[in-house]
Amino acid sequence: MSANVSARVRAARREDVPMMWELVLELAHYERLQAIVHNDPGRLAAQLFDPGAWPKVEALVAEVDGTIAGYALFYGCYSSFRGQPVIWLEDLCVTAARRASGAGFALMRALARIAVERDCARVAWDVLDWNEPSIAFYERLGAKRDQGWHGYSLAEGPLEDLGRSE
């Protein structure tokens, strides 16, 4: 896939956090997940930029016409079968007004370059099953839906119950 890319991608900086936070909220609204947002800009900044933060979270931002149009938030995992690192893409968000700017493609291309440089087995992420525009975008990049795997999570009450169990 090629795209007419007018976006410039760079590593996120601390001063980008307010705009990134606006995009986090926009993504939560788009995905109909506002009710589970418990983060805030200070915690996001700490996770991205404070030494010793765990896990080590990184972000790229895409600028179009000098303003942040989108971001990619990611961190490292490990594949025991492959014996290589994996990049987990937690968020890819391009503001609605800039979705045809090439910012999403530019962010994914930059992330792929990082993965290649770091000898990663893959870049992986989740996408909501109803999010057809995003699914179509990822498939145009050559991404394939994982077959035979189902995403699960342990959170809130059940996580606490299990963690406190004897």
Residue by residue, pLDDT tens for the chain (166 residues) are 445 568 999 999 999 999 999 999 999 999 999 999 999 999 999 999 999 999 999 999 999 999 999 999 999 999 999 999 999 999 999 999 998 889 999 999 999 999 999 999 999 999 999 999 999 999 999 999 998 888 888 888 999 998 999 8
pTM over 0.75: yes
19-50 per-residue burial string, b: 16 or more CB within 10 A, e: under 16? bbbebbeebbebbeeeeeeeeeeeebbebbee
CB 103 within 8 A of CB 7: yes
Cβ count within 10 A of residue 127: 17
CB 145 within 8 A of CB 106: no
8-164 maps to which CATH number?
A: 3.40.630.30
Going by C-beta distance under 8 Å and a sequence separation of 6 or more, which residues neighbour residue 125? 88, 89, 90, 92
CB 24 within 8 A of CB 93: yes
Residue type, 123: V
